Chain A
Amino acid sequence: MKKNNTFDLGRFGKYLIYDLNNCRVNFGISMIILILLGIITYFLTGISSVVFLGKWVSIPIMGRIPILGLSILIMAIAMPSKCYGFLTDKGLGSQWLMLPASKLEKFLSMMIMTLIVVPFLTIGGFLLCDWLLCIIDPNCGQSIVSAACNIMSLGEIATEELAPLFPFIENKWILYDEMPQMILPFVLGAIIFKRNKSAKTILCLIMIGIIFGLVGTPLLFNSILDGSLLCSSDEEAIETISSIGNNLILVDTISDSIINIGLLVAIYLRITHLKH
Chain B
Amino acid sequence: MVEIKNLGFDYGKTPLFENISITLTGGHIYGLLGENGVGKTTLLTLLCGLKKPKSGTIRTDGYNPYNREPSFLQDQYFLADNIPAFNMKACDFAKINGKFRDRFDYEKFITIMKEFDTDPSFMMNKMSYGQLKKCYISFALACNVKYLYMDEPTNGLDIPSKTQFRSAISRYTDEDSTIVISTHQVRDLENIIDPVIILDNNDILLNASIEKITEKLYFDYTYSDIENGAKLLYEENIAGSNIKVMTNKNEIESKVNLEALFNAVLRNKQFIKEIFNK
Cα A122 to Cα B100 with chains together (Å): 29
Q: Which of A87-95, A137-145, A208-216 contacts B (4 or more CB under 8 A)?
A: A87-95
CB-based contact B84/A3 at 8 Å: no
Residue B272 lies at the interface, judged by CB distance under 8 Å to chain A:
no
Residue A120 lies at the interface, judged by CB distance under 8 Å to chain B:
no
CB-based contact B84/A95 at 8 Å: yes
If A98-B77, A98-B78, A275-B51 touch, whether A3 touches B70 (CB-CB below 8 Å) is: yes
CB distance from B123 to the nearest CB of A (A): 12
Residue A195 lies at the interface, judged by CB distance under 8 Å to chain B:
no
CB distance from A152 to the nearest CB of B (A): 42
Number of A-B contacts (CB under 8 A): 63
Return chain A residues, CB-CB under 8 Å to B68: 97-98, 103
CB-based contact B100/A100 at 8 Å: yes
Q: How large is the interface on A (under 10, 10 to 19, 20 to 34, 35 or more residues)?
A: 20 to 34
Residue A99 lies at the interface, judged by CB distance under 8 Å to chain B:
yes
CB distance from B133 to the nearest CB of A (A): 12
Cα A251 to Cα B90 with chains together (Å): 53
Residue A30 lies at the interface, judged by CB distance under 8 Å to chain B:
no
CB-based contact A2/B100 at 8 Å: no
Residue A255 lies at the interface, judged by CB distance under 8 Å to chain B:
no
Residue A5 lies at the interface, judged by CB distance under 8 Å to chain B:
yes
Measured CB to CB, the nearest residue on chain B to A11 is: B70
Residue B52 lies at the interface, judged by CB distance under 8 Å to chain A:
yes
Measured CB to CB, the nearest residue on chain B to A89 is: B84
Cα A248 to Cα B228 with chains together (Å): 93
Which residue of B69, B80, B87, B88 is within 8 Å of A94 (Cβ)?
A: B80
Return chain A residues, CB-CB under 8 Å to B159: none
If A94-B78, A97-B50, A275-B50 touch, whether A14 touches B71 (CB-CB below 8 Å) is: no
CB-based contact B70/A276 at 8 Å: no
Return chain B residues, CB-CB under 8 Å to A276: 45, 50-51
Cα A273 to Cα B51 with chains together (Å): 9
Measured CB to CB, the nearest residue on chain B to A18 is: B96
Return chain B residues, CB-CB under 8 Å to A3: 70-71
Cα A14 to Cα B100 with chains together (Å): 7
Residue B256 lies at the interface, judged by CB distance under 8 Å to chain A:
no
If A97-B50, A98-B77, A276-B50 touch, whether A25 touches B70 (CB-CB below 8 Å) is: no
Cα A276 to Cα B97 with chains together (Å): 20
Cα A127 to Cα B80 with chains together (Å): 45
CB distance from B143 to the nearest CB of A (A): 10
Residue B222 lies at the interface, judged by CB distance under 8 Å to chain A:
no
CB-based contact B100/A275 at 8 Å: no
If A11-B70, A18-B96, A21-B96 touch, whether A98 touches B83 (CB-CB below 8 Å) is: no
Pull 25 A–B residue pairs with CB atoms less than 8 Å apart, ordered by A.
Answer: A5-B70, A11-B70, A18-B96, A90-B80, A91-B83, A92-B84, A94-B45, A94-B50, A95-B84, A97-B49, A97-B50, A97-B68, A98-B49, A98-B50, A98-B76, A98-B78, A100-B71, A100-B100, A100-B101, A101-B100, A102-B69, A102-B70, A273-B52, A275-B50, A275-B51
